[in-house]
Amino acid sequence: MTAIVSLVVALLLLWLALWTVVARDAFVAVAGFVVYGLLLSLVWVRLAGIDVALTEAAIGGGLTGALLLGAVGRLRGTEAAAWSERSGACTRAFAVLLSVSVATVLALCVLTLPEPPPTLAPQAAENLAATGVGNPITGVLLAFRALDTLLEAVVLVIALIGVWSLAPDRFWGGRPGPRYGADPDGILTYLARVLPPIGIVVGLYLFWAGADHPGGKFQSATILAAMWMLVQMAGLSDAPRIDSRWLRAGIVVGPLVFVAVGVLGAWQAGAFLGYPDGWAKPMIVVIELALLPTLVLVLALLLNGAPARSADSPPAPGETSLSARSTRPMPAGGTRQ
């Protein structure tokens, strides 16, 4: 029975991928990609990776989907011109040949993998108790391979700097994206008032549960970022100015605390990012607490995109009342300044 489910999921995944790649309309392709991302999280469940499934559903399907859907809306006018440039039959035949050969070579490698398979699971299981966390994935992310996680946080910040640096000079220090103004009595505004409290609780639960159960800061940060985007899209709060100090401090606090803990480890435990005996769990909690605001801000701001209007652009009519401001979901205290 489970074998049949796996087979159906695999075939559906291949069909969706093919559909997404050959669809003529870009919007259809992106919609297909969002469904593909959700289906992919089912694959992760089948592959015994609940943590990966949560990340895939939140980031792979959710955030990437939202990003691409936003881009499709602004690229509408360029599609027809691009279609006229599509490759000829000869190129397509060559592409089919190349793709099939690459897939075949990969498949041959898969069928001749070494037995028994190499694994680090016994070492991870043996040393997990020393880290004080119960979820092996969290143990790997923040103890055994903490350097990867540190570099990942740095990559996120660099990506955000890259996106911001694409702003035209006149908008530098301004706010990203359009100013959303939804109907104040509409369903979107209603949801943006009702959902964030629930979303924040779920996000923080995932954050805390990640120590011993599936979950963790990435999944949690994505949910919190999504709540913030919801409030922005309903026009209840504006995107932040990218030159505000609290914003920049929140973005770099994660990597800085991470590096500080790493240096402390070099001094106390004899290795960069080493934890002194018995201090692993508190150190991990400190790093995770510092990384959470960084991840929430960077994920949401990557979705917001490059600054596209100056900071003092007039607000759209009919929003940003005082009561709306108090529903702001940001733990860092919002843009009040």
Please give the residues from 104 up to 163 whose contact with other proteins meets the rule CB under 8 A. Answer: 104, 106-107, 110-111, 113, 117-122, 124-126, 136-137, 139-141, 144-145, 148-149, 152, 155-156, 159-160, 162-163
Q: Least Å distance between CB 281 and other proteins?
A: 17
The interface with other proteins within residues 260-299 (CB under 8 A) comprises 298-299
For other proteins, which is the closer residue by CB, 81 or 322?
A: 81
The interface with other proteins within residues 59-98 (CB under 8 A) comprises 59-60, 63-64, 67-68, 70-72, 74-75, 78-79, 81-87, 91-92, 94-96, 98
37 neighbors 61 (Cβ within 8 angstroms)? yes
Burial degree of 273 (CB within 10 A; 0-12, 13-18, 19+): buried
**Chain position carrying tokens 């099939």:** 100
For other proteins, which is the closer residue by CB, 87 or 337?
A: 87
Contacting range for other proteins; rule: CB under 8 A; set: 240-248, 284-292, 301-309, 320-328 = 301-309
Cis status of the peptide bond prior to 184, with omega within 30 of 0: no
Neighbours of 169 (CB within 10 A): 5
For other proteins, which is the closer residue by CB, 4 or 322?
A: 4
Distance, C-alpha 269 to centroid of its chain: 32
Q: Least Å distance between CB 326 and other proteins?
A: 30
For other proteins, which is the closer residue by CB, 182 or 300?
A: 300
43 neighbors 31 (Cβ within 8 angstroms)? no
# chain residues binding other proteins, by CB under 8 A: 99
**Binding to other proteins by residue 327, rule CB under 8 A?**
no
CA distance 258 to 10: 39
**Chain position carrying tokens 């391979």:** 145
For other proteins, which is the closer residue by CB, 36 or 180?
A: 36
Neighbours of 48 (CB within 10 A): 8
**Binding to other proteins by residue 8, rule CB under 8 A?**
no
State the helix-helix crossing angle for 64-75 and 280-304, rounded to 10 degrees: 10
CA distance 199 to 330: 11
The interface with other proteins within residues 181-210 (CB under 8 A) comprises none
